[in-house]
Amino acid sequence: MTGVSIGTLVGNTGDPANLVMVMKSSFACRRGEFVRISHQERESEELSNVLARVVSISRSNVLYNTGLGQSVSELELLPGAQVTGEQLTAKIEVVGLKDHATGEIRIPRRPIDPGSRVEKVDFQFLCEFYGFSEHSSLHIGNLVGYEKGPDAVPVFLDVNRLVTEHLAVLAMTGSGKSYTVGRILERLVAFHNGTIVVFDPHGEYGRALQGGQLHFNPSMGETEDNRDKESLPRIRQLMESLQTAGGGIHIYTPQDSAFREKYAGVNRELALQFDHFEMDEVSEILPGLTEPQQRVLDVAIRYWCLQEQVTPRDINTLRHYLGDGLEELRNWDELSAAEAQALNGRSAAVASMKLSRVLNEAQSFYHGAIGSATDIYEMIGRPVDRVGRLVIIDLQGLSDTAKQVITALISGEILRAASSKTDRIRPCFLIYEEGHNFAPAGGSTVSHRIIKKIAAEGRKFGVGFAIISQRPSKLDPDVTSQCNTLITMRLKNPDDQRFIAKTSDMVSKADIEELPNLSTGEALICGRSIPAPLLVKVGMKALLHGGESPEVLQLWGQWNG
């Protein structure tokens, strides 16, 4: 199949990331567009098409060069004279050729012939090249340059690889990263019946159920994408159906009346069971305890669990043993000599003070007045449950420490339940918004250890995660290096660009140079869930999202004084 020739390969073709094409005209192609080149990999094989992307264009003219100085302004051509001396070259980066036996896209090992024709590609060629199974894939958007009208080229992500092999979404604020995540998660729930847990530090995702009712994007009917015209109403129908069936959106919040007002009482108040947590988790949420203070707390927890055989156990009883009930602890006949010596009032008072501060900030632990404790199996579901759900943990207004404590403890319970030998939960996908606050580089937060553990071990137990950040350079590289799909949107900070180049071998130098120029809603996607790195215009989402900037002029109004 022969297409329209737009240029010719010249120079050294040995580096597939650095090919040069002489263009036929300045209108032959634009930066970011795809081209193809006929290539024969082996003598015994037929010609195949290598797909490549134009990453930069150079244009100069001998009549208008910098050496002319001010005389350029005095240069005039005779009417009808043709401009000569034009030099048009484009740098091309090979995407790969498709192995028709395996369906994989690979870089050619034999250099492409110098002098080869470079041809335009159409949407049909691109759709066939990026073959997909729609049943097991998620439509994220359309290829940049081919995003509108009947020639739009849809881009799909492999769901299994996206969810189980982890995702990083990195972009500066206002680029559309949370909106992109919103499109992904609503499709995972509606079309693939998944369980998603979002740790929502600013209450953005919860807006979809504000007031106790589902809210959908009012601009949904304005989409120009033919696929979205069909899929967005379908998502609405499925989400409403799931909500009626007990799935859909579930909101969990701290025990605060403001959340009950925000969600008209349909939210579920967190009541975490302190005795479910391991001692290393307790040490993390109460940092700075001395050895005697840790020993007092350990004794109090053991005695509390012994005395209250019926679960869930009231956290206020534990606080009692660290205060007025300390004498009861001292009389416990199972104490060792070292433990008995450590049970002094000062150590108990400090441990009690630190515990009380965390409990008061988080407002998310079980006590007798709350009714029932948070059940992780009810939150996530068991494998036999067939109802998809979007679980939103709304942490709006809490301190950073409280957000980290809640995120760490829920994440830890999920991983433990997922790795249970006898009673496992459904596979689930955890979303960490503002990830640099939960797993920072070179720092230590309460949630840091468990996120690193999920990054390393979660895949084996069906627990995947996505980490979203506007400051990639502040993220723990051990966490991001485990993310096998990378969605990068506009990034202008050089430190963030260097971090991505350093921690991911999926992004080329040309890709990094493209990042500052991306428009809102455009993303570079690469990794295991997509056949090759692609620039994508992310499509519209169905559910309402609260991450948009407010219209300040409208909110300020006009003074009529």
| Cα–Cα distance measured from residue 419 to residue 423, given in angstroms and rounded to the nearest whole number | 9
C-alpha angle 83-89-90 in degrees, rounded to nearest 5: 140
pLDDT band at 6 (very low <50, low <70, confident <90, very high): very high
Could you report the per-residue pLDDT of 495-543, keeping only the tens digit for each?
888 888 777 676 777 778 888 888 889 998 988 898 878 889 999 999 9
Per-residue model confidence as pLDDT tens digits over 117-158: 999 888 778 878 877 777 789 999 998 888 887 778 889 999
Domain 134-270+374-546 CATH superfamily? P-loop containing nucleotide triphosphate hydrolases (3.40.50.300)
d(CA 430, CA 438) in angstroms, rounded, equals 13
Q: What local confidence, expressed as pLDDT, does residue 2 receive?
A: 63
Question: Residue 523 in 3-state DSSP?
Answer: strand
Is the distance from CB of 107 to CB of 96 less than 8 angstroms? yes
Range with top average pLDDT, 350-354, 425-429, 487-491: 425-429
Give the pLDDT band of residue 548 (cuts 50, 70, 90): low
Q: Give mean pLDDT, residues 299-306.
A: 91
Q: Report pLDDT digits (tens) over 89-110.
A: 999 999 888 887 777 788 899 9
Q: What is the pLDDT of residues 331-347, one digit of tens each?
A: 898 888 888 887 888 88
Torsion of CA 389, 390, 395, 400, to 10 degrees: 110
- The whole-number average pLDDT for the span 322-336 is 89
pLDDT at 105: 84
pLDDT band at residue 71 under the 50/70/90 scheme: low
Q: Where are the domains of the chain?
A: 5-66+84-121, 134-270+374-546, 274-370
DSSP H helices in 363-504: 376-380, 400-418, 448-457, 477-480, 494-503
d(CA 363, CA 276): 17
Determine the pLDDT at residue 81.
53
Contacts of range 454-460, beta carbons closer than 8 Å, 24 or more positions apart? 454/411, 454/415, 454/430, 455/166, 455/479, 455/482, 455/483, 456/482, 457/415, 457/419, 458/166, 458/415, 458/418, 459/164, 459/165, 459/166, 460/419
Residue 69, pLDDT > 70, answer no
Burial 176-196 (b: 16+ CB within 10 A, else e): bbbbbbbbbbbbbbbbebbbb
With contact defined as beta carbons under 8 Å apart, do 285 and 358 qualify? yes
- pLDDT, residue 342, reads 79
Task: Calculate the CA 92 to chain-centre distance.
Answer: 29
Token pair of 513, please? 């140079």
Residue 162 has pLDDT above 70, yes or no: yes
pLDDT band at 83 (very low <50, low <70, confident <90, very high): low
pLDDT, averaged across the chain: 88
Q: Indicate the pLDDT class of residue 549, thresholds 50, 70 and 90.
A: low
The three-state secondary structure class of 457 is: helix
266: pLDDT strictly greater than 80: yes
Closest among 386, 319, 328 to 349, alpha carbons compared: 319
pTM of the model: 0.87
Distance from chain centroid for Cα 67: 49
What's the CA gap between 304 and 311, in Å, rounded?
11
Percent of the chain, pLDDT > 90? 53
Structure confidence by residue, pLDDT tens digits, 239-264 = 999 999 999 999 999 999 999 999 99
Contact indicator for 271, 365 with CB cutoff of 8 Å: yes
